[in-house]
Amino acid sequence: MNTAMKNEKAKPRKTTDRGELRTDDLEVIYDSDAGKTVALSSTSLTINPGEFVCVLGPSGCGKSTLLNVIAGFVRPTGGEALLDGQAIEQPGADRSMVFQQHSLLPWKTVRANIGLGPKLLGDIEANSTVNHFIEMVGLKKYEHHYPDQLSGGMQQRVGIARALATFPRVLLMDEPFAALDYQTRLMMQENLLNLWEELGTTVVFVTHDVDEAIFLSDRILVMSASPGRIVKDIANPLPRPRDQMISSEPKFMAIKRDCMEIIRAESLRTF
């Protein structure tokens, strides 16, 4: 692991008053040839600026739909989503998304992929922005490589650097580490917390993995299917900075038990 990526010491959190997300009574009904699907129903939430919120829930409960509404890719059929009080109506540079599989341009190098956003936005310091983020994700040695010359973990690190290089107010992450092996996933989680602690960006992170949600978050939203909605909002007071050893502590176990109880009850209800 690159030394720049190690969880060496506590970094001061940047405080910011931007990046507040709110959804009011959000509803998304997809209407396709196969019929209507209620993907989200009565979904109201507030996420504070700089907060790290994880969304947990079974397949098909509307997690990606929620992220897509916040990203501006999907228009709700009811209610609204707001960023800093402004209704979200389309995608914008103030929100970035990282997907489960990397969505890098295969014909561009690591450097060019990360630089795309800053250049499009007219960042006059695009080159130094790119240098900064390549260093932050520990890929200086690979800056002239192409995506298919990198491991899965490295590709995701490029994806995260690319998402952050436009200095978004909100980082949306849709199971970004799900395709990685266990050890790489743990390393990526620590790396992500280091980046977040430095930048103070609001993060909404979707996962199926209860341990991952507890390790990363300030708060966990548990969703349920039929219809998709938030059934529980669990505060996560575990101290920061964190490393993976925290998962063996009683406080971690207690939060895990809360999450498991809710997931189990909801599974039985919808079975």
Tell me how far, at minimum, the Cβ of 117 lies from ligand ATP, in Å. Answer: 24
64: contact with Mg ion by CB under 5 A: yes
Q: How far is the CB of 69 from Mg ion (least distance, A)?
A: 13
**According to the binding rule CB under 6 A, does residue 37 interact with ligand ATP?**
yes
Indicate whether 60 belongs to the interface with ligand ATP (CB under 6 A). yes
In this complex, which beta carbon is closest to ligand ATP, that of residue 99 or of residue 167?
Answer: 99
Return the one option of ligand ATP, Mg ion, none that residue 3 interacts with (CB less than 5 to 8 A, by type). Answer: none
CA distance 95 to 115: 16
Number of helical (H) and strand (E) elements in the chain, helices listed first: 7, 10
Using CB atoms within 10 A of its CB, is residue 248 exposed (0-12), middle (13-18) or buried (19+)? exposed
DSSP state of 9: S
> What mask of x and - would describe binding to ligand ATP in positions 221 to 260, judged by CB under 6 A?
-------x--------------------------------
- To ligand ATP, the closest distance from the beta carbon of 57 in angstroms equals 6
Helix, strand or coil, per DSSP, at residue 44: strand
Question: Judged by CB, which is closer to ligand ATP: 112, or 262?
Answer: 262
Region binding Mg ion by CB under 5 A among candidate stretches 63-71, 75-83, 101-109, 252-260: 63-71
Query: How do 78-83 and 52-56 pair as beta strands?
Result: unpaired
Contacts of 206 (CB under 8 A, 6+ apart): 54, 55, 63, 64, 66, 67, 173, 174, 175
In the bound state with Mg ion, the residue whose beta carbon lies nearer, of 134 and 222, is 222
For the beta carbon of residue 48, count every other beta carbon within 10 angstroms: 13
CA distance 168 to 18: 10
- Which residue stretch of 62-70, 151-159, 225-233, 248-256 sits at the interface with Mg ion (rule: CB under 5 A)? 62-70
Q: Whose Cβ is closer to ligand ATP: residue 48's or residue 226's?
A: 226
Residue 62 binds ligand ATP, judged by CB under 6 A = yes
The residue among 62 and 118 lying less far from Mg ion, judged by its C-beta, is 62
Q: Residues 140-159 vs ligand ATP: string with x where CB under 6 A? A: --------------------
Burial group, residue 128, by CB count within 10 angstroms (0-12, 13-18, 19+): exposed
Q: How far apart are CA 72 and CA 62, in angstroms?
A: 15
CA distance 199 to 169: 10
In the complex with ligand ATP, the residue whose CB is nearer, 29 or 246, is: 29
Residues at the interface with Mg ion (CB under 5 A) = 64
